[in-house]
Chains A and B, each alone.
Chain A
């Protein structure tokens, strides 16, 4: 996790067997792990869609209209549906991990995992609502 290992007397070069390239297809849990890791590709894709939109708005009304027209093509509709599924997978796994990452104590008592997860889902719903309200007004 911290880059290259230093091979010293106290830390000799370890035996690193090579696994088959598709090792993560052997087991459902491995495949799920790899799919979760690959959600980042669709996160980057959508960040670039917004950079594209930003460039279009900077260039003018015509460029913005062309951007909107391009998103109506079957290619981009398909990409966006797939991206939505992966981004939802990312959001759900991310929120479900919050009690593991952040242990909250109030008055010496640990806040139950369900409450941390629940409040995150609530926050997600509220934020999504605000986005719909703000950006769907036209």
Chain B
């Protein structure tokens, strides 16, 4: 992995980790537990669609999905390096950041066409 890219990847790791720390727990409780168990009603289809079509909603969903994927890519790469002691991590790097990039592109494409 290019040395010049490293600071940028650490920045994405940091930004994604902050998004995951501050936004994920509440959304996990809501979407993962409260809605499926019937504690609260799911967002109605039309209102959720309207929110996602609004520029604020588009930005929110993009940041919510993309940055944490890059956080995962960076941290998982080093986890594999530490845990499995893989000294050549080029393929691991490509797979990790590549997955995050593909997820980001699908998110951007979907939001663009909403």
Contact = CB atoms under 8 A, between A and B. Distances in A.
Interface of A: 1-4, 16, 18-19, 21, 24, 34, 37-38, 40-41, 43-44, 46-51, 53-55, 57-58, 61, 64-65, 68, 71-72, 76-77, 80-81, 83-84, 87-88, 90-91, 94-95, 123-124, 127-128, 131-132, 135-138
Contact of B107 (A3, A18, A54, A135): A54
9 contacts: A3-B1, A24-B83, A71-B31, A80-B36, A83-B32, A91-B21, A131-B27, A136-B40, A138-B40
Chain B interface main SS type? helix
Contacts of B42: 68, 138
B72 A47 contact: yes
Contacts of B47: 138
A135 B33 contact: no
A94 B18 CA distance: 8
B91 to A, nearest CB: 13
Interface in B73-114: 75-76, 78-79, 82-85, 87-89, 99, 103, 106-107, 110-111, 113-114
A88 B21 CA distance: 7
Contact of B65 (A1, A38, A51): A51
B28 A80 contact: yes
Interface residues of B, number: 61
A9 to B, nearest CB: 20
Chain A interface main SS type? helix
A18 to B, nearest CB: 6
When A and B form their complex, which 8 residue pairs have the shortest distance between CB atoms, in order from nearest? A80-B32, A44-B72, A128-B26, A40-B75, A131-B26, A91-B21, A138-B41, A94-B21
Given A16-B87, A57-B45, A135-B43, A49 B64 contact: no
Nearest to A16: B87
Contacts of A127: 22-23, 26
A49 B69 CA distance: 12
B22 A43 contact: no
A132 B3 CA distance: 41
Nearest to A88: B25
A97 B49 CA distance: 37
